[in-house]
């Protein structure tokens, strides 16, 4: 695996590959890699001649500075894991390579997707995501890019950005990779205490029960049921549970024929914020 730390060296190398007409798949990450990240690399490998992964903890997408400072860094292990997946290229830039002296985000208009769910709770988060993902796309010029459904709102926002800016690539969503007990894999899981980690499987268990309940009950009743379940949980604090339209991401209050919904959760285990979501059929 080739490792590049500067844009210039990466661009020079990719230019040579493009001359040979090789297709490029791109997987952006913030490191502390797990099997969820590696599943994206695998999908990219299967569908492209060359796979580029990036590891960059993007400061402008953290509204919570403590979360940024405590974000896990496991670079040697990450390199080992990417090598074991035969990833072709790792882009590992320092902050100074991706931002000028002023580390700030551009403002984006994602047609309102940015104001729902995570957008309500993480100020400026999606401007930070848009800024860094657009920079990566401009540098790497991938044919395909892979994002996890774990961050479903982010996936829809990146698709919207590509559409609105007419960028010449396809964005692909990949299924959520889970631990054996159902907890969605996340770099932040490493920061959970043993007790919190054990209890965290409650999030997906509750989502699954909510999905089953929704088949025979109203959205309002299912939302109330989930909120009550969390109220009785001494370890996990619910930030939000929303049933939303998959296209607009707007909260749904009534089931409508022909629409597709997803259930979205954000919950805290102590200071650690966990998110998950599930496809719903009504």
In the bound state with ligand AMP, the residue whose beta carbon lies nearer, of 62 and 219, is: 62
The catalytic position among 13, 34, 37, 121 is 37
Neighbour count for residue 244 (Cβ, 10 Å): 20
Length of the chain measured in residues: 282
CA diameter of the chain: 60
Q: What is the 8-class DSSP label of residue 176?
A: P
Q: Estimate the crossing angle of helix 152-164 against helix 125-140, to 10 degrees.
A: 60
Q: What is the nearest approach in angstroms of ligand AMP to the Cβ of residue 208?
A: 16
Q: What is the nearest approach in angstroms of ligand AMP to the Cβ of residue 249?
A: 15
Distance, CA of 253 to CA of 250 (rounded, Å): 10
Q: What is the nearest approach in angstroms of ligand AMP to the Cβ of residue 136?
A: 12
Neighbour count for residue 182 (Cβ, 10 Å): 17
Q: What is the nearest approach in angstroms of ligand AMP to the Cβ of residue 257?
A: 30
Distance, CA of 28 to CA of 137 (rounded, Å): 10
In the bound state with ligand AMP, the residue whose beta carbon lies nearer, of 135 and 223, is: 135
Which residues here bind ligand AMP, judged by CB under 6 A? 29-30, 36-37, 39-40, 147-148, 150-151, 174, 176-177, 184-187
Neighbour count for residue 18 (Cβ, 10 Å): 13
In the bound state with ligand AMP, the residue whose beta carbon lies nearer, of 132 and 238, is: 132
In the bound state with ligand AMP, the residue whose beta carbon lies nearer, of 44 and 242, is: 44
Neighbour count for residue 256 (Cβ, 10 Å): 10
Buried b (16+ CB within 10 A) or exposed e, 89-119: bbbbbeeebbbeeeeebeebebeebbebbbb
In the bound state with ligand AMP, the residue whose beta carbon lies nearer, of 177 and 241, is: 177
Active site residue 37: yes
In the bound state with ligand AMP, the residue whose beta carbon lies nearer, of 36 and 206, is: 36
Q: 65: buried, middle or exposed (CB in 10 Å: 19+, 13-18, 0-12)?
A: exposed
Residue nearest ligand AMP, Cβ-based = 148
The torsion angle over the Cα atoms of residues 195, 196, 199 and 201, rounded to 10 degrees, is -130
Q: What is the nearest approach in angstroms of ligand AMP to the Cβ of residue 184?
A: 5
Q: What is the nearest approach in angstroms of ligand AMP to the Cβ of residue 132?
A: 10
Distance, CA of 143 to CA of 137 (rounded, Å): 9
The residues carrying an active-site annotation are 37
């Amino acid at each position: 695996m080739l490792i590049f730390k500067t844009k210039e060296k990466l661009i020079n190398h990719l230019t040579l590959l493009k001359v040979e007409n090789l297709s490029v798949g791109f997987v952006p990450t913030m490191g502390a890699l797990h099997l969820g990240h590696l599943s994206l690399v695998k999908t990219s490998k299967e569908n492209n001649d060359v796979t580029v992964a990036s590891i960059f903890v993007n400061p402008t997408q953290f509204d919570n500075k403590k979360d940024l400072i405590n974000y896990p860094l496991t670079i040697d292990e990450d390199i080992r894991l990417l090598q074991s997946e035969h990833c072709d290229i790792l882009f590992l830039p320092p902050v100074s390579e991706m931002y000028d002296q002023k580390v700030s985000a551009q403002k984006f208009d994602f047609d309102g997707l940015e104001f729902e769910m995570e957008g309500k709770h993480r100020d400026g988060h999606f401007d930070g995501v848009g800024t860094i993902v657009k920079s990566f796309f401009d540098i790497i010029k991938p044919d395909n890019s892979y994002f996890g459904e774990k961050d479903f709102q982010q996936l829809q926002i990146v698709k919207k950005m590509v559409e609105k800016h007419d960028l010449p690539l396809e964005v692909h969503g990949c299924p959520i990779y889970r631990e054996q007990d159902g907890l969605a894999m996340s770099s932040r899981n490493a920061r959970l205490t043993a007790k919190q980690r054990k209890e965290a499987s409650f999030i997906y268990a509750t989502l699954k029960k909510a999905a089953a309940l929704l088949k025979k009950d109203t959205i309002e009743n299912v939302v109330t049921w989930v909120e009550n379940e969390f109220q009785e949980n001494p370890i996990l604090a619910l930030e939000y549970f929303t049933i939303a339209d998959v296209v607009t991401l707007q909260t749904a209050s009534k089931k409508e024929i022909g629409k597709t919904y997803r259930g979205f959760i954000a919950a805290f285990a102590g200071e650690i914020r966990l998110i998950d979501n599930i496809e719903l059929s009504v």
